[in-house]
Amino acid sequence: MSSASTAGPQNLVDTVGMSYLESTPRKLVTVYLPLAVFLFVLLFPFYWMGITAFKPNNELLSREGNPFWIHAPTLAHVKKLLFDTSYPEWMWNTVVVSVVSTFASLAASVFAAYAIERLRFSGAKHVGLGIFLAYLVPPSILFIPLAAVVFELGLFDTRWALILTYPTFLIPFCTWLLMGYFRSIPFELEECALIDGASRWQILTKIILPLAVPGLISAGIFAFTLSWNEFIYALTFVSSSEVKTIPVGVVTELVEGDVYHWGSLMAGALFGSLPVAFIYSFFVEYYVSGMTGSVKE
Amino acid sequence: MRANGKSTMLEKLQNSRNALGLIFMLPAAVLLLVFLTYPLGLGTWLGFTDAKVGRSGVWIGLENYEFLWNDSVTRLALFNTLFYTAVASIVKFFLGLWLAILLNRNLRFKTFFRAVILLPYIVPTALSAIAFWWLYDAQFSVISWVLTRLGLIDRYIDFLGEPWNARFSTIAANVWRGVPFVAITLLAGLQTISPSYYEASAIDGASPWQQFRHVTLPLLTPIIAVVMTFSVLFTFTDFQLIYVITRGGPLNATHLMATLSFQRAISGGALGEGAAISIAMVPFLLAAIMFSYFGLQRRAWQQGGSDK
């Protein structure tokens, strides 16, 4: 037996597929080193955002010295951002638009998904397919005619323009995701409730929704980040500074001519990214399941 | 009598299902019809008109498309879009697959890695694009700084000032943003593959490459098809990155169909022409969706299920 285990290369080849038998140095080179490079590249822009936001201008615009560190940190850029620009207003707009459109879309999607998946009205299958196709319509082919619609409805340059158009990508996504969750809830539960005399409304609110809470959180988190990050509609449908959202405000208003205020630009980018990153950090699992679920279905 | 009563009750149930279904569908349906279906139709119509901002146009047939076909900027934008989509998608696929395989190993802090890696995907693209814009700055780019210090270059790279540099720089930013999505979704696919396949193939003497080629890849193909369809779809219609980093410059070298349609329709006011550019993207998207559809079908068929 001992001779077999020391049989050398032959034996090694046989077991190389079992990762737990791999030697540590080998794993260091084949797994941890590439992973570290990936991690570095994926996270470096955020580090750069953070460090630029607190770096004084003379350090930013100098090729001497170590650019990876701040020698004399400053809050000047943040101060400029908060007091000399409409940044706080943009932040507020982004919050209002994201929260309202997320909840509205979630509510509409719960009903739609329940109707398609559980009421099975005639034509439900086709409606489900239609929802999936709607999910595939990218905003960048829709924004021109949508701008015309928004204008006709007199919504141009208002928050309503965004609150009402964001559901065009939120509802298909949330409905599609919730359909998957509702499908996993056993029919028997509903049948029992029906026999006990529950109405459809009671079944929805007392049985289905409590069981679908993880799905609701996934859909909600995902919808919130999608609307927080939305750019092209907000860029097209809004033109006054006081109605802009953060991504649009930072891109269109913090850039003045040829002089780039990199410090405040990066501070704006950083604070605009932090809320989603913060929420995401609490709901990573829900977010991932939402993302993979929407693709896998 | 009894049978009769039963059938009317069934009918009632059926009726109430339909009625209730209609009521439940109403909010979503109204929003989608007004803000999605109608604009899609309107966009198609606008593409055949000479509409300008503030002036509804008249039907001019295929004139917009004829003009665009002979317009060198549009042709360049089409080339750019195809190039951007092809290169970025291929790179995203290989890096994403590699990252997914790395993350699928027995690692310490696996959940932490997975969470952190998704960050580029969840933060607002417009904002991370600004960070890239700063990283690509012609005078103060930290990338150039490092390369000069390493002695690899002696002049700062003009990342965004030269057409091919600008193309590859924007592609790099797109890959940075897209790799996490591909990696995490493929990782979810990898985790559904039973370890017993690997054990069995190891016993049969398969090398790691053979295991990858004959176990991992075939079992992963359906999800790869879907993920890549989404990736292609979103890369092809990309707008934010280009708009923020280059605005289509230099010399229209990075203009994509989406940014060009924005420039023509919103900045330039030529709604009809812009709409025609958008509509011209649809055939490509349909091709991607068909690809996804057959990918999904194959998945159902492989798992022994019937087609949905």
Q: Which of A139, A144, A276 sits opposite B274 (nearest CB)?
A: A144
Spell out the domains of chain A, with CATH numbers in brackets.
13-75 (no CATH), 81-296 (1.10.3720.10)
| Residues of chain B positioned with their CB less than 8 A from the CB of A19 | 105-106
Q: Is A266 close to B266, i.e. CB distance below 8 A?
A: no
Q: Does A232 touch chain B (CB under 8 A)?
A: yes
Per-residue pLDDT of B85-138, as tens digits, reads 999 999 999 999 999 999 988 777 888 888 899 999 999 999 999 999 999 988
Per-residue pLDDT of B236-255, as tens digits, reads 999 999 999 998 878 899 99
> Per the structure block, which two tokens stand in for B266?
């919103």
Contact A133, B26 (CB under 8 A): no
Q: Is A134 close to B32, i.e. CB distance below 8 A?
A: yes
Which residues of chain A are modeled with pLDDT < 70? 1-22, 257-259, 293-297
With a pLDDT cut of 70, the percent of chain B lying above it is: 90
- Fold of the domain built from segment(s) B48-302: MetI-like fold (1.10.3720)
Q: Does B142 touch chain A (CB under 8 A)?
A: yes
Per-residue pLDDT of A126-185, as tens digits, reads 999 999 889 888 999 999 999 999 998 999 999 999 999 999 999 999 999 999 889 888
Per-residue pLDDT of B17-36, as tens digits, reads 788 888 889 999 999 999 99
Cα B13 from Cα A187, distance rounded (Å): 17
DSSP sequence for B4-64: HHHHHHHHHHHHHHHHHHHHHHHHHHHHHIIIIIHHHHHHHHHHTB--BTTB---B-TTHH
Q: Which of A41, A45, A138 sits opposite B128 (nearest CB)?
A: A45
Confidence band for B298, pLDDT divided at 50, 70 and 90: low
With a pLDDT cut of 90, the percent of chain B lying above it is: 48
Residue A48 CB neighbours (<10 A): 18
Q: Is A236 close to B134, i.e. CB distance below 8 A?
A: no
pLDDT averaged over every residue in chain B: 86
Q: Is A17 close to B201, i.e. CB distance below 8 A?
A: yes
Q: Is B36 close to A142, i.e. CB distance below 8 A?
A: yes
Question: For position A72, what pLDDT does the model report?
Answer: 84
Question: For position B20, what pLDDT does the model report?
Answer: 84
| Residues of chain A positioned with their CB less than 8 A from the CB of B18 | 121-122
Report CA torsion sign: A63, A66, A67, A71: negative
Phi-psi region of A120 (alpha: psi -120 to 50; beta: other; left: phi over 0): left
Indicate the DSSP class of residue A20.
Answer: G
How far apart are the CA of B179 and the nearest CA of chain A, in angstroms? 9
Residue in B97, B74, B137, B96 with CA at minimum distance from that of residue B263: B74
Q: Is B127 close to A122, i.e. CB distance below 8 A?
A: no
Question: For position B222, what pLDDT does the model report?
Answer: 80
Q: Which of residues 19-48 of A touch B (CB under 8 A)?
A: 19-20, 27, 31, 34-35, 38-39, 41-43, 45-46, 48
Question: For position A16, what pLDDT does the model report?
Answer: 40
3-state secondary structure A125-174: HHHHHHHHHHHCCCHHHHHHHHHHHHHHCCCCCCHHHHHHHCHHHHHHHH
